[in-house]
């Protein structure tokens, strides 16, 4: 009786390993992108809380004059477990910029997977206008956000 042995050749095994490697690399990139999008959502939520606190200040005082970062609960520093340092930017009686900047090396927070960026909202309580922006150093996140 002749038994025929069936087995995979070395070329077939190498091709399967290459395909699995390519799929793993694509999955890792997609995973990293999804994680970073979640972090952007975190920044937007923190800015939303700052906007709500600024709204309360505006209702109590009739303008934003005198509003401080302390009132908004931010201090522009990176916490050891945080991804952003949040702050209040340019301020006048009618509008304010509220932003969260991605922590980078040496600031004490968690490092970005890619380029550090700044998510900010320009908010005018008298009209209710809020515009979201994203700015980074490599130009991939510049302009208005929806």
Q: Delimit the domains of the chain by residue range.
A: 10-145
How many CB atoms are closer than 10 A to CB 58?
Answer: 20
Cβ atoms of residues 68 and 47 within 8 Å: no
Query: By C-alpha distance, which of 114, 117, 146 is closest to 131?
Result: 146
Question: What is the average pLDDT across 67-79?
Answer: 85
**Dihedral Cα 8, 9, 15, 20, nearest 10 deg:** 30
Determine what percent of the chain falls in helix, strand and coil, rounding each to the nearest 5.
40, 25, 40
Q: Residue 22: its pLDDT value, please?
A: 94
Q: Residue 124: its pLDDT value, please?
A: 87
Cβ atoms of residues 141 and 127 within 8 Å: no
% of the chain at pLDDT higher than 70: 84
Confidence band, pLDDT 50/70/90 cuts, at residue 23: very high
Higher pLDDT: 105 or 143? It is 105
DSSP code at position 63:
S
């Amino acid at each position: 009786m002749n038994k025929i042995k069936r087995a995979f050749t070395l070329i077939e095994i190498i091709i399967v390993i290459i395909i699995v490697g390519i799929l793993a690399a694509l999955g890792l990139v997609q995973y990293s992108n999804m994680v970073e999008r979640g972090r952007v959502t975190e920044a937007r939520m923190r800015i939303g809380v700052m906007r709500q606190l600024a709204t309360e200040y505006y209702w109590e005082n009739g303008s934003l004059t005198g509003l401080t970062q302390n009132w908004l609960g931010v201090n522009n520093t990176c916490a050891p477990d945080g991804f952003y340092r949040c702050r209040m930017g340019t301020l006048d009686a009618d509008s304010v910029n509220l932003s969260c900047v991605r922590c980078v090396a040496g600031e004490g927070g968690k490092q970005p997977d890619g380029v550090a960026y700044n998510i900010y909202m320009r908010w005018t309580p008298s009209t209710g206008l809020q515009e979201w922006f994203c700015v980074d150093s490599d130009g991939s996140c510049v302009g208005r956000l929806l």
